[in-house]
C-alpha cells in the first residue's frame, strides 16, 4: 500500500534527512515521501522548525536543479529556488537515500498555479469573460504554458527518476483561490466563483473554435451572468441545482453547455502529453478534488491517459470519503492507482481515532493508498495520529 506525506524541502533541511526518515517511516509508519518539486508562494506556520516558525517560500520556483539543455529556447523558463543553492538539493538527497534502501520518492509538482510566471507572461494566463487576467493561473490551452509543464515533468522524471510524480493544478483554477488580500464586497456564491473562473483567453478561443465550439456565444452568455451578479443588491442563485447537477445545470444555454463540455479537452490532452514525455519508469498521477469538473477535469478521461489520481478528502466524514473513493474507482477503472488525500489539521480532524476512521473508509471505498498533509505544518505529536491511521488500514 502506498502511504506518503506531503513535505517541503525546508522541512527536511530543518529536521535533517535522518530525522525526517525517522519521523515518517519509523514513527508514522509511512513508506513514501511526497516532496514539493515546484511550488507557489505562501505563509506557513512551522511548529517544529527550530528557528523558522513563520516561513514565506519564494513564489513560483522549482526545488531541483533544472537541466538547462532541455530548456534552451523555451519561452517560459523555471526559476531554481534559492533554497536549493543555499541549503541543498533535497530531491537528489532523497533519491540517493531511496537507492540505498530508503523510502520511495514522489514528486509533488505544482503545474499551472504560478503567479510569478503569470505576471511575467500575462498573454498565457486564464482570462474571464471580460478579458481580465488571472495571474495565478497559466492557461492549459496556451502552447507555451503546456510546453513549460511538459518539460518540467520530463526534466524531473528523466534526471531524478522518482517512483511517482503528482500533478497539482494542470487545469483551470477557481476565481477565489487565496490570492493576496482578496476583496469581495458582493458576496459571491459557488456559481459566481465558477462563472468568473471560466477562461475565455485567445488560446482557449483558438483551441475551442478549431473544434467548432461556439466560443463567442458562450463568452457573451457568461459575461451577462457575471454582470447580473454584480448588479444584485444581495447574493442570489441563478442556478438552483448548482453544483449538484454538474454541467447539466447549464443545459438550458446550449452554446455555454457545449463550451463547458469542451473545456475538459485542454486538461485531458495536457495530462496525456505530460505522461507521454515523462520517463516511463515514473508513475504519473493527478491530484484532484471531489468536484474536479469545476476545473475542467474529466476523471474518467484522465484515467485513460495517465496512471491514476489522488482525490483529496478534506473535511469529509467517513461515509462521504468512502463514496468519493467508490466514484473515483468507477471513473478510473480497476487497474489505475487511486489515492486519498487527508490534511492532519485541527479542527478539520479532531483526533487519531477520527483520522483512522477516515483512512479506513478510503480503503473500503477502493483506494490503493493515502497521502497525509503536511509534515512541517503539524505538531510532532500528530505523527502518532498518522501512525494510528496507518495501522488501521494495514490490518485490512
Q: State which H helix or E strand residue 371 sits in.
A: strand 369-373
Provide the CA 160 distance to its chain's centre, in angstroms: 21
Q: pLDDT tens digits, residue range 126-141? A: 999 999 999 999 999 9
Phi and psi at residue 244, to the nearest 5°: -55, -35
Share of the chain above pLDDT 70, in %: 99
Closest to 217 (Cα-Cα) out of 253, 245, 182, 181: 253
Q: pLDDT tens digits, residue range 99-127? A: 999 999 999 999 999 999 999 999 999 99
Residues 243, 273, 71, CA angle at the centre, nearest 5°? Answer: 120
pLDDT at 194 over 80: yes
By 3-state DSSP, what share of the chain in percent is helix, strand and coil, each rounded to 5? 45, 15, 35
The Cα–Cα gap between 306 and 285 comes to: 6
Average pLDDT on 32-37 reads 98
CATH of domain 2-172+264-394: 3.20.20.80
From the CB of residue 331, how many other CB atoms can be counted at a distance below 10 Å? 18
**Which residue spans of the chain are classified as CATH 3.20.20.80?**
2-172+264-394
Which burial class, exposed, middle or buried, applies to 364 when counting CB atoms under 10 A from its CB (0-12, 13-18, 19+)? middle
What dihedral angle (degrees, nearest 10) is formed by the CA atoms of 159, 164, 168, 171?
A: 90
Tell me if residue 78 falls in helix, strand or coil. coil
The Cα–Cα gap between 309 and 368 comes to: 10
Q: Which of left, alpha, beta for 358 (phi over 0: left; psi -120 to 50: alpha)?
A: alpha
Average pLDDT on 275-283 reads 98
Calculate the alpha carbon distances from 101 to 21, 105, 359 in Å. 12, 11, 27
Give the pLDDT of residue 181: 78
For the chain, give the mean pLDDT. 96
pLDDT at 157 over 70: yes
Q: What sign has the CA pseudo-torsion 208, 174, 64, 390?
A: negative
Residues 64, 160 contacting (CB under 8 angstroms): yes
The band of 396, judged by pLDDT with boundaries at 50, 70 and 90, is low
Give the pLDDT of residue 173: 96
Output the pTM of the full model.
0.97
Give the pLDDT of residue 182: 84
The Cα–Cα gap between 322 and 266 comes to: 30
Provide the CA 224 distance to its chain's centre, in angstroms: 30
DSSP 113: B
Q: pLDDT tens digits, residue range 288-333? A: 999 999 999 999 999 999 999 999 999 999 999 999 999 999 999 9
Buried/exposed code over 55-87 (b: 16+ C-beta within 10 A; e: otherwise): bebbbbbbbbebeeeeeeeeebebbebebbeee
Give the pLDDT of residue 178: 62
The band of 395, judged by pLDDT with boundaries at 50, 70 and 90, is confident
pLDDT at 260 over 70: yes
The band of 66, judged by pLDDT with boundaries at 50, 70 and 90, is very high
Residue 146 CB partners (closer than 8 Å, separation 6+): 140, 270, 273
Give the pLDDT of residue 258: 98
Angle between helices 202-209 and 215-231 (to 10 degrees): 140
Q: pLDDT tens digits, residue range 12-30? A: 999 999 999 999 999 999 9
pLDDT at 253 over 90: yes
Amino acid at each position: 500500500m502506498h502511504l506518503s506525506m506531503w513535505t517541503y524541502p525546508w522541512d527536511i533541511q530543518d529536521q535533517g534527512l535522518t530525522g525526517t526518515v525517522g519521523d515518517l517511516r519509523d514513527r508514522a509508519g509511512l513508506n513514501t515521501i511526497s516532496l514539493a518539486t515546484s511550488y507557489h508562494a505562501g505563509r506557513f506556520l512551522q511548529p517544529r522548525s527550530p528557528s523558522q516558525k513563520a516561513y514565506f517560500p519564494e513564489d513560483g520556483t522549482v526545488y531541483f536543479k533544472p537541466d538547462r539543455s532541455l530548456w534552451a529556447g523555451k519561452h517560459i523558463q523555471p526559476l531554481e529556488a534559492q533554497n536549493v543553492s543555499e541549503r541543498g538539493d533535497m530531491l537528489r538527497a532523497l533519491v540517493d537515500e531511496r537507492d540505498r534502501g530508503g523510502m520511495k520518492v514522489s514528486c509533488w509538482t505544482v503545474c499551472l498555479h504560478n503567479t510569478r510566471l503569470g505576471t511575467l507572461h500575462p498573454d498565457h494566463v486564464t482570462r474571464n469573460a471580460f478579458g481580465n487576467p488571472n495571474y495565478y493561473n497559466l492557461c492549459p490551452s496556451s502552447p507555451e504554458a503546456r510546453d513549460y509543464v511538459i518539460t518540467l515533468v520530463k526534466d524531473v522524471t528523466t534526471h531524478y527518476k522518482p517512483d511517482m510524480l503528482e500533478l497539482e493544478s494542470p487545469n483551470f483554477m477557481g476565481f477565489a483561490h487565496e490570492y493576496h488580500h482578496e476583496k469581495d464586497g458582493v458576496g459571491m456564491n459557488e456559481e459566481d466563483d465558477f462563472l468568473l473562473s471560466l477562461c475565455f483567453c485567445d488560446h482557449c478561443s483558438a483551441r475551442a473554435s478549431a473544434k467548432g465550439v461556439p466560443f463567442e456565444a458562450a463568452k457573451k452568455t457568461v459575461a451577462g451572468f457575471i454582470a447580473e451578479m454584480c448588479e444584485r443588491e444581495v447574493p442570489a442563485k441563478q442556478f438552483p441545482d448548482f453544483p449538484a447537477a454538474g454541467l447539466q445545470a447549464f443545459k438550458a444555454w446550449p452554446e455555454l453547455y457545449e463550451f463547458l463540455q469542451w473545456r475538459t479537452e485542454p486538461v485531458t490532452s495536457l495530462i496525456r502529453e505530460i505522461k507521454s514525455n515523462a520517463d516511463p519508469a515514473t508513475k504519473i498521477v493527478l491530484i484532484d478534488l471531489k468536484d474536479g469538473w469545476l476545473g475542467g477535469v474529466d476523471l474518467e478521461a484522465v484515467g485513460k491517459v495517465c496512471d491514476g489520481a489522488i482525490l483529496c478528502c478534506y473535511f469529509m466524514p467517513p461515509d462521504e470519503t468512502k463514496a468519493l473513493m467508490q466514484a473515483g474507482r468507477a471513473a478510473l477503472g480497476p487497474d489505475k492507482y487511486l489515492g486519498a488525500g487527508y490534511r492532519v489539521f485541527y479542527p478539520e480532524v479532531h483526533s487519531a481515532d477520527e483520522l483512522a476512521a477516515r483512512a479506513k473508509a478510503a480503503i473500503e471505498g477502493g483506494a490503493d493508498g493515502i497521502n497525509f498533509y503536511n509534515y512541517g505544518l503539524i505538531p510532532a505529536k500528530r505523527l502518532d495520529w498518522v501512525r494510528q491511521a496507518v495501522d488501521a488500514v494495514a490490518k485490512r
